[in-house]
Amino acid sequence: MSTMNISLPDALKAFVDHQVSARGYGTSSEYVRELIRKDQDIQRLREMLLDGAGSAATAPADGGYFRGLRDRVTQRTGA
């Protein structure tokens, strides 16, 4: 694992320290890693949404469509 050092103003460091203690992180590095992972997830979702918006239109996603999705998930999970 690589190391990266960052400089923060006192107010931001205090905020991070509070988040670490209040939310049960072991270290500030754990907190920052989670923030970065969440940002990566947001970027991937944005890319998927833009890809979908640029794709050709298909059948509308109406109630029947979502019932079919639920049925497929139920069959796979056995719920």
The predicted pLDDT at position 76 comes to 87
Model-level pTM? 0.68
The predicted pLDDT at position 5 comes to 95
DSSP string, 17-56: HHHHHHTT-SSHHHHHHHHHHHHHHHHHHHHHHHHHHHSP
The predicted pLDDT at position 64 comes to 92
What is the spatial distance between Cα 51 and Cα 47, in angstroms, rounded to a whole number?
Answer: 6
pLDDT along the chain (79 residues), means of 10: 95 98 97 98 97 90 93 86
